[in-house]
């Protein structure tokens, strides 16, 4: 299997160098995306679903440590490699307290990066073998159980791929692939479908949008509004108006 890699660095030259200097294919890895800041990375990480992240420690607005704190709460299995141009012990000490697999000084050395990635690949391979062995037993009905779990719990705003994977004893990347393979929908698409079907029913009663959003597990009305319009093709208010006039 191919492991997904993300590179976060505010220097484009550093991102390009890392991409070009490593033989990703031989490591069964692919660079699926990059970001120029921690804030940009946090906004796209759910879409990219990386297994491994390289992150520069010194970036404006949100540095590597702040990104790591947020990212590992969302994805506990994420493998993070901190990059820095500063040989600073205090920065290193802060990183040690976080879920970081390696701390590397810039400019990067190809041999060192390859060695680190080889070790990470071995750990990921072992983890996926264990997950598949478990899945081959909790497999014919596992996804059915998970879809039912989502139907029963979609109103919980904290539910996500990682939390469900942990609940059922799967690696999140493995579950993501398996879910799409068996249902034809991504995990997020299925979760949004559950929420939007309930939202349609509530909209038919002329319920305020912020109330409906909260009731279906999306407490951010703006995000809910975008989801509803994408799912239905019209805005929530347009849907409410069209049904209230009947």
Taking only the tens of pLDDT, the chain with its 246 residues reads: 789 999 999 999 999 999 999 999 999 999 999 999 888 888 888 888 899 999 998 887 788 888 888 888 888 889 999 888 766 556 656 665 666 788 888 888 999 999 999 999 998 888 776 555 444 437 457 899 999 999 999 999 999 998 898 888 788 888 888 899 889 999 999 999 999 999 999 998 889 999 999 999 998 999 999 999 999 999 999 999 887 755
The pLDDT, as a whole number, for residue 151 is 94
The CA-CA-CA angle for residues 193, 196, 202, to 5°, reads 150
Report the C-alpha gap between 171 and 129 in whole angstroms.
10
The pLDDT, as a whole number, for residue 136 is 46
Report the C-alpha gap between 206 and 61 in whole angstroms.
41
> Largest Cα–Cα distance in the chain?
69
**pTM for this entry:** 0.56
Residues 6+ apart with CB under 8 A from 67: 8, 38, 41, 42, 55, 59
The two tokens of residue 69 are 């704190």
The two tokens of residue 19 are 């991409």
9-17 long-range contacts, Cβ below 8 Å, gap at least 24?
9/34, 9/36, 9/54, 9/55, 9/56, 9/59, 9/83, 10/36, 10/37, 10/56, 10/59, 10/60, 11/56, 12/36, 14/56, 14/83, 14/106, 17/107, 17/108
List the domains of the chain with CATH numbers.
3-132 (3.40.50.2300), 142-244 (1.10.10.60)
The pLDDT, as a whole number, for residue 211 is 94
Residues 6+ apart with CB under 8 A from 108: 17, 18, 21, 83
**Would you tell me the crossing angle of helices 12-21 and 110-136 to the nearest 10 degrees?**
70
The pLDDT, as a whole number, for residue 137 is 39
The pLDDT, as a whole number, for residue 76 is 82
Coil/strand/helix, residue 217: coil
Coil/strand/helix, residue 4: strand
The pLDDT, as a whole number, for residue 209 is 93
């Amino acid at each position: 299997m191919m492991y997904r890699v993300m590179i976060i660095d505010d220097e484009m030259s550093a991102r390009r160098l890392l991409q070009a200097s490593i033989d990703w294919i031989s490591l069964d890895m692919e660079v699926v995306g990059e970001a120029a800041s921690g804030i940009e990375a946090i906004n796209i990480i759910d879409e990219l679903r990386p297994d491994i992240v390289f992150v520069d420690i010194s970036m404006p607005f949100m540095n590597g440590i702040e990104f790591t704190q947020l990212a590992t709460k969302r994805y506990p299995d994420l493998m993070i490699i901190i990059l820095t141009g500063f040989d600073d012990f205090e920065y290193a000490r802060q990183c040690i307290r976080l879920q970081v697999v390696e701390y590397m000084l810039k400019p990067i050395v190809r041999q060192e990066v390859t060695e680190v990635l080889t070790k990470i690949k071995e750990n990921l391979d072992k983890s996926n073998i264990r997950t598949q062995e478990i899945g081959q037993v909790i497999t014919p009905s596992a996804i059915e159980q998970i879809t039912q779990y989502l139907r029963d719990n979609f109103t919980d705003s904290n539910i996500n791929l990682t939390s469900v994977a942990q609940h059922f004893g799967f690696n999140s990347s493995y579950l993501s692939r398996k879910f799409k393979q068996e249902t034809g929908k991504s995990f997020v698409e299925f979760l949004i479908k559950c929420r939007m079907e309930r939202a349609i029913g509530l909209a038919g009663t002329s319920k305020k949008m912020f109330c409906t959003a909260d009731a279906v597990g999306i407490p951010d009305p703006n995000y809910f509004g975008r989801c509803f319009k994408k799912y239905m093709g019209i805005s929530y208010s347009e849907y409410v108006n069209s049904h209230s006039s009947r």
